Amino acid sequence: MQPSLAHLSRRRFLASGAALAAAAPLAGADEPTRSAETLAQALHATLTPAQREVVCFPWDYVHPKFGLLRTRVGNNWNATKPELVSDFFTGEQKRLVRDIFEQLIRPEWQGRIDKQLEDDAGGFGHAQSIALIGEPGSGKFQFLMTGRHMTLRCDGDSAEHVAFGGPIFYGHDPGGFNEEATHPGNVFWPQALAANKVAAMLDGRQRELALVAKQPAESAVAFKGSKLEQGIAVTELSADQRAELEHVLAVLLEPYRAGDQAEVRRCLSAQGGLDACRLAFYRDGDIGDDGVWDCWRLEGPAFVWHYRGAPHVHVWVNIADSPDVPTNT
């Protein structure tokens, strides 16, 4: 049996620049599975004072370029300078970083995101950086991973009111920057196909409500509270259409660990559930003018899942249980 892409990516990342990493056992081989948060605490404990000067920050650290670091989200950025594959990190530290990723992303999705990282950055750890914000055990601690088409974090509910520890980003450019209408090879395109099943079920009046001429700026994911205007209100959907939208939400959450999925649903419930949301499909950015909507947005009072599929996939996610939570993009 051929090894999976996830296994190959892990092995190559661990072997990069450190003999210790190549010899390190895979997490879980001789030890019980640990959460991403406890692994992040273990990573923090391995850092030398010199390393901490570079990748560790106080909980309320305001970066001169990015603002409040623990709430920053972007499509292509690095919170710190050391590349994960560099010799700045020991083999043990590289193993812990990979283990954190594997706790945040469900096993069936790890190979797909490894493919995304291979296409976008040359593989897991390449052109990627991490930051550790706050102090383990203080109740205020976050692990942050950044790079091209990635903002991923965990915090063990240190940041009150928010899902995923704060806003996240994912995307994919399989090659050529400008994708074809069918988005061949894009690991996230099935999410848009799921949303388009809802679009196909809409009648004439509903389509008129759902279709919007121009999409907002992709990074415009600050919460609007009750001031939602674009798209069709979910309360306008029939029972079968709403059930299909529930399936879309499940597809969107599928890559993430059960705890993060539950937190998203808790936050969504606190603001009125899907019935408080609106769904918009955007006419601009329709690659090939085929009526399969490449750009769309599911939005609630404190819920934004913005999918931009043209020229390639960018997805911005910002979810809390209150619209009073500020956004930093």
Question: Residue 2 pLDDT more than 60?
Answer: no
For helices 239-253 and 258-270, angle between their N-to-C axes, nearest 10 degrees: 140
Q: What mean pLDDT value characterizes the chain?
A: 92
**What is the pLDDT at residue 106?**
98
Tell me how far apart the alpha carbons of residues 269 and 264 are, in angstroms, rounded to a whole number: 9
Q: Which amino acid is at 102?
A: E
Residue 102 and residue 124: Cα distance in Å, rounded? 12
Q: Residue 167 pLDDT > 70, yes or no?
A: yes
Q: Is the pLDDT of residue 8 over 90?
A: no
Give me the pLDDT at residue 20, please. Answer: 35
Q: Is pLDDT above 90 for 169?
A: yes
pLDDT of residue 30: 37
Count other C-beta atoms under 10 Å from residue 7's C-beta.
Answer: 14
For the chain, the structural domain boundaries read 5-159, 189-319
Question: What is the band of 70 on the pLDDT scale with cuts at 50, 70, 90?
Answer: very high
Angle between the 91-104 and 107-121 helix axes, to the nearest 10 degrees? 120
Which amino acid belongs to residue 107?
P
pLDDT digits (tens, 9 = 90+) for 76-118: 999 999 999 999 999 999 999 999 999 999 999 999 999 999 9
Percent of the chain with pLDDT over 90: 87
pLDDT in the model for residue 19? 37
pLDDT band at 18 (very low <50, low <70, confident <90, very high): very low
Give the three-state DSSP class for 196. Answer: helix
Instruction: Please write the tens of the pLDDT for every residue from 216-234.
Output: 999 999 999 999 999 999 9
Section 237-256 average pLDDT: 98
pLDDT at 34: 87
**For residues 263-285, average pLDDT:** 97
- The dihedral built from the CA positions of residue 227, 202, 198 and 75, taken in this order, carries a sign that is negative
Q: Which residue has the tokens 């050529």?
A: 176
Distance of CA 71 to the CA centre of its chain: 13
CA 2 to chain CA centroid, nearest Å: 28
Contact 155, 139 (CB under 8 A): no
Structure tokens at 255: 């890559």
pLDDT > 90? residue 283: yes
Residue type, 103: Q
Q: Could you write out the DSSP letters of every residue in 88-121?
A: TS-HHHHHHHHHHHHHHB-HHHHHHHHHHHHHHH
